[in-house]
Amino acid sequence: MEKITVSRYEPLFTIGLAAERVGVSPMTLRMYEQKGLILPYKTASGRRQFSIHDLEIVLCVREMIGRHGLNIEGIRRIMSLIPCWKVKKCSSAEKRSCPAFTNGGGPCWSLTDSICSRKGEECRECRVYRELPECSNLRKMVAG
């Protein structure tokens, strides 16, 4: 029988199942999304679907809160330190006009006027969302 492999970035879980898997309420997941910490996939009808990667970020957020005593705003600030402009190799002109570089009000994927959003790029597919927010990297940022 052919082995089925699932990508950790594939939208798999409804909000109810996702919440159950990580031990929070659906309301908490919606709040994390609204605060820009996670980017669940949205179906054409607007239903959220979460990937394993999205849930790993949620677990990381829970760890930051439970073990390091951070609040949501603190976590947003740490995520805003991720130098997306290096990953995306932005030019100096692009950096100067992008709020992710100039004011870092939150993770770049939560900023509606980032250079990438102006270009219509899909943050869920981006290396910055997919690779950098791993908990070990964020832990290093907390530790300084």
Q: Beta-carbon neighbour count of residue 102 at 10 Å? A: 10
What element of type H or E holds 100?
A: helix 99-102
Which residue in the set 33, 51, 129, 138 belongs to the binding site for ligand SF4 (CB under 6 A)? 129
Q: Cβ distance 52 to 12 under 8 Å?
A: yes
> Smallest distance from the beta carbon of 127 to ligand SF4, in angstroms?
7
Establish if 114 lies at the interface with ligand SF4 (CB under 6 A): yes
> Smallest distance from the beta carbon of 99 to ligand SF4, in angstroms?
10
Q: Cβ distance 22 to 37 under 8 Å?
A: no
- 92 contact partners, CB below 8 Å, separation of at least 6: none
> Smallest distance from the beta carbon of 116 to ligand SF4, in angstroms?
3
Q: Among residues 20 and 121, whose Cβ is nearest to ligand SF4? A: 121
CA 143 from chain centre, in angstroms, equals 20
Q: Cβ distance 19 to 25 under 8 Å?
A: yes
> Smallest distance from the beta carbon of 1 to ligand SF4, in angstroms?
37
Query: What's the token pair of residue 40?
Result: 């669940």
Establish if 128 lies at the interface with ligand SF4 (CB under 6 A): yes
Q: By rule CB under 6 A, what string of x and - marks binding of each residue 69-88 to ligand SF4?
A: ---------------x---x
Q: Which residues bind ligand SF4 (CB under 6 A)?
A: 84, 88, 108-109, 114, 116, 121, 123, 126, 128-129
